[in-house]
Structure 1
């Protein structure tokens, strides 16, 4: 197979490839960029593999960076763009089910491709567009199949995260997992506990943002992988419920976690504990809590101006999108109009601040200052207090008397 019209990302990298080949070495584009080009998906960056050893690459190019020299990766800087060149290699001795104990540089493309996870990712392409397919990856793309390279039991014992990658690719591409590969995932699903949750987190979010997250969830349940990630075992039915929603089209991790936490029926504290077990960032935890609170308000038809204000437009719209799965969403344009009509959108827009109140001798630094500012903020937002300095000062004086 030869790809005639190469994406711009490949075209820009061709001079680097040609220089490696001119020196007598092999060089190929490998992995996801080749797969996505064949499928017709947009690519974002390219990976290059070569028979040249790291020191040989460094001799060929004036500007290089040792980005992963122990694994054979050198970044070549060319025309203000960096290209990572990785030497063909074999790997062995995966005692922790995550990383190879030993990496050996080789000159053979076949040996390099043999260690890759799935046939659709074991494709290599020369700079002129000629594709090398040693494991039936193109046929599997045509059949829409995720199949492990070689023995799937060996692949998953080498890196157990590959099981999550299988369901992620199936969801992302709307493919199905081939039977032997699927059975091997079911057999070794407990190995997922050997993997850092941060790595599973990334694959899970990508799975949920794919074309068929329903299939991803069903595959996790059918293979028992759901039993080996934080707290999912306690919510099997709720997970199954999520897989019944059609056309999720989730855009980001906040929507993913908000849908899950809402379906699980988690309160604010439970959301925090749940997402901490997934090693989510504090920002993700806070935004998910806020989104779920707004989602409850939308479902119960008690969304107020102040809650809109506290939620913020982006999270408000995300909560409303999740509400659409439960047939309780508000018209988006109406929601935007209501939010737009709020007197202020954040505390910085208040006509007064703590410094002004202190300067005018109305308050001193301390807890009462914060309470007063919170009261001012709420009264302005709900329309009971005009946002001008004189009115706010008068309100504050009255507030302190009460």
Structure 2
């Protein structure tokens, strides 16, 4: 009997209290591990999404920089033409007017994103102005020129009056070559622009009533490129968007490029010529020039893009005090912004229009792009 009692005592297990304490300790351990894993996973997502935002921002800035560097090719061969209103029309579409300038900035109201329109030619050969040898009436289908060097069928050209005013503007057309008549045959002294089924841009209705005179000239654009960059805000999914003017149908075709780009800002860099002939930028502003003299002062474009991380943060990570700021340097002169004199980060970049904007992180990318074609032709 004594042996049996001792055996049962040696085989006794956990008590209920001990079991409950063990369960509590195990649950606490699991809870701590889960919290560590959740925190680590959140940090991992923030880092990975932040990396994606950096790629999107860098690529958006590179794309804009590359386009602006090429802006104005062909159009700036004669700086006297800068600022000329250019009229154009495709077939029966409504006629429209654009400004003959490398870059035109459409300022967004109250800090909203800007639009940047880039105009340039694209040619494998030389792009030089062609002087008119005689008058061209508003009903003529060809220009008489001194020499049509570099002009081929399909070339896009802009007719420019030497003296521009409200009744003398520029016109866009494409060169044709119909050998059935000497006046419609492209030659060293004739540049035709006949309206055909394959050249529906040649609408005489866009020509000035007074036509063009001897001494006016044609700008050789090669292949005409008009491209507008903006922010697409559809469905709160902000992306950098580009719209190309189609030469096939005269319409614009929007295309999304890089996601999570939430703001685009641009400034004209306006300079003056010093005694040595160098152009020095002394002012940045978003005021679109109105005269040829003002357009000739625009020698650079300053741009900033704001990229947003796609990761929604549970806690507020962005507030009014740490929202994105454009660092323009302490010596920059930004017209209309008094706080930018002596202060570096002085231009607030608007992001509070976005849903739950405080729960996302942002990164600003900016650069200054010289207008090479304007500077070279100066």
Considering the TM-score relative to the shorter chain, is it more than 0.5? no
Indicate the structure whose relative CO is greater, using CA pairs within 8 Å and at least 6 residues apart: 2
In proportion to residue count, which structure has more helix? 1
In proportion to residue count, which structure has more strand? 2
* Structure of larger gyration radius: 2
TM-score between both structures, scaled by the size of structure 1:
0.19
